[in-house]
Amino acid sequence: MLLHLKNVLTPDQLQGVREMLARVKFVDGKASAGMAAVRVKNNQEADRQAQEIRHLDNLVMGSLVQHPVYRAGALALKVATPFYARYVPGMHYGDHVDDPIMGAGEGLYRTDVAITIFLNDPASYDGGELVVNTPFGEQKVKLPAGDAVMYPASSLHHVAEVTRGERLVAVTWVQSLVRDPAKRELLYELNQVRERLLKEAPEHADTARINTVYVNLFRMWSEL
């Protein structure tokens, strides 16, 4: 399931994010790559030691975790602090699958869901599409600033080479309460119907039935 999250960040929030990133030192993105991805990764990432990073995280993640599509689609148990990635002409990220486990020590988490939040105008750079392999073929994603895409971290994916301008994104991962992406998709689709019925026909018997099915499937499939 590939989901488009619209308006995760407002124009004012985006302006603040870009101003902070303009003051941050960027380092070679290979430093955060796993053994397989390091061979195909060619980008830069904001130094997480920079003093602006904490403010960036609060702004970006504070908005993301309140987004209704994120909440319904990710069913999050744990969410990672994001990486802020920059691509300039000649940079790309070849085909890879995200590491299954990230973090360290007590902060370990399983990467079930990957999220990319686009931070600058897609018209300001050429190339840089996120290309995700799905059962229906390759899906190319290049969204308006402030929007995000969410997809299974188990998907083979790559970032096309940037040929003009600068691509800025925030990338994070979620350990879901529901590990299986097919089950998460079923719950998401069922929840769309459930929420509509709860708004339009809260007293109807079918609403109660759908709500019961959703709640009990979530209970059955969750790993908490």
Q: Residue 65 sits in a domain of what CATH number? A: 2.60.120.620
> Is residue 110 located within the same domain as residue 160?
yes
> Is residue 102 located within the same domain as residue 212?
no
> Is residue 193 located within the same domain as residue 137?
no
Structural domains in the chain (count): 2
Q: Model's pTM, two decimal places?
A: 0.94
pLDDT at position 118: 98
pLDDT at position 34: 73
CB crowding 1-37: b at 16 or more within 10 Å, else e: ebbebeebbeeebbebbeebbeebebeebeebbeeeb
Whether residue 173 is predicted with pLDDT greater than 90 in this model: the reply is yes
> Is residue 217 located within the same domain as residue 160?
no
Share above pLDDT 90 across residues of the chain, in percent, rounded to a whole number: 91
Kindly indicate the confidence band of residue 35, based on its pLDDT and cuts at 50, 70 and 90. confident
Q: What's the domain range around 197? A: 181-221
Beta-carbon neighbour count of residue 66 at 10 Å? Answer: 10
Task: Give the strand pairing for 125-127 and 157-159.
Answer: unpaired
